[in-house]
Chains A and B, each alone.
Chain A
């Protein structure tokens, strides 16, 4: 009976090596820490196969909020960061973790809310809209996760002259999750929420939500890309990582970004060369 136990262990070990072997195959690949908006909007699903087909470099995307993505890179766990909160990105550069930052593309934020619009903000500018939401204490969903969108939301409250830390009540709900989760929550609670347009266009569970405020120049949303500094983290795959950065800002990569559409709507607008960078 002991020999049967031994046989069982042997079979288990064989099974283990069999199941693990495909998982260990290593290819030429880089890790990109990016934001939930680029993943949830489907942009990477469209863009990355084009890059991989051209260069043979597989891109592994970790989709996190901008703050968390930059922290992942600070720890040396990513080769490239592709995020959208310029102040945080410049801090990252100043700390020496990034080599050089390039503008890649932009879209804009939109203020989403229930069609019934209890705070009456439809078509207003963003400042008036936020003041009305605060005055009515209408339900508002905040990402609350140091993401690019969360950072932008906090800046918009500040610009509207509202100290949201002091002024928030039960109507202001910080959920600490990604863009899609915030839209799901807003849909369920009939609440207002700030979203990037890309995630909104590709979002499928809209329920009664609609775009209420858009087109305000304060809602501009710039994305940037950086190679993680190999001097800080020698394990960074600098050639392959730089190849990805170069491709994104090349005419070919820029055209690919412009070509990503859902229902005929363009989600991101390439702008790597607007200042001749």
Chain B
């Protein structure tokens, strides 16, 4: 990525360094999103349906963790994965895997907290029917998650938005290594610190455009599937 070129020239020329940055960004954030959804959706549904002592505290905690500062998560994951840390033997620090782990932790609450709310609302609505039909707890969870899917889309998109926009955690655990762990956001930080403000801004615009494009695809798919479902 030549310092003098503008972001538009880089896009039009299909600059390989720019493409690698975009690829790392998307691979990390989408992987984190998939993992966080796998954990966050059932977690939210469980909190909505199960009644146990301390549940209130957990709900408050989960809601609060939506505001978890990425840089704090980054630091915690750094200390865990560092060679001197408890999981150091795996050698994961400064790899894309470390970035996926950090972002997954950051976005689990962002997905799980709204999921809990939506599923709980549906539960109030369908409690009598589901109880009468004798549906077991797992069946209830699956049914309500499916019924709430429209609002869950928004929760999942919010999670993706946070992952794609986040810079504090990926900078610490990824190390901003060129061609390996450099993402759109850490590249913007680097170009800004080089005083290359036009290129930094251009990269920022590309990032926003990508996020808009992905949201557009999801929205189109959703409208289509709603029509399919009648």
A-to-B contact residues, CB < 8 Å: 1-2, 4-5, 9, 12-13, 15-16, 19-20, 22-24, 31, 36, 39-40, 42, 45, 58, 60-63, 75-77, 177-181, 183-184, 187, 202-206, 233, 235
Contacts and interface: CB of A to CB of B under 8 A. Distances in A.
Interface bin, chain B? 35 or more
Given A60-B94, A205-B195, A76 B88 contact: yes
B145 A5 contact: yes
Given A4-B146, A12-B38, A22 B23 contact: yes
Main secondary structure of the interface of B (DSSP, over half): helix
B146 A2 contact: yes
Contacts of A4: 146
B195 A15 contact: no
A16 to B, nearest CB: 4
Given A16-B34, A20-B100, A180 B139 contact: no
B34 A13 contact: yes
B93 interface: yes
B96 interface: yes
A259 B83 CA distance: 36
Nearest to B37: A12
B3 A42 contact: yes
Interface of B: 3, 23-24, 26-28, 30-31, 34-35, 37-38, 82-85, 88, 91, 93-97, 100, 139, 142-143, 145-146, 175-178, 180-181, 190, 192-197
A181 B83 contact: no
A261 to B, nearest CB: 14
Contacts of B27: 19-20, 22-23
A4 B95 CA distance: 34
Contacts of A22: 23, 27
Contact of A75 (B24, B37, B38, B84): B84
A20 B143 contact: no
B100 to A, nearest CB: 7
Contacts of A23: 24, 27-28, 31, 95-97, 100
B143 A16 contact: no
The 4 closest A-B pairs by CB, nearest first: A180-B193, A76-B83, A205-B195, A23-B96
Given A13-B34, A24-B97, 4 more contacts: A22-B23, A60-B94, A75-B82, A77-B93
7 contacts: A2-B142, A19-B27, A39-B190, A42-B3, A77-B94, A205-B196, A205-B197
Contact of B193 (A179, A206, A235): A179
A141 to B, nearest CB: 14
Contacts of A12: 34, 37-38
A200 to B, nearest CB: 10
B145 to A, nearest CB: 6
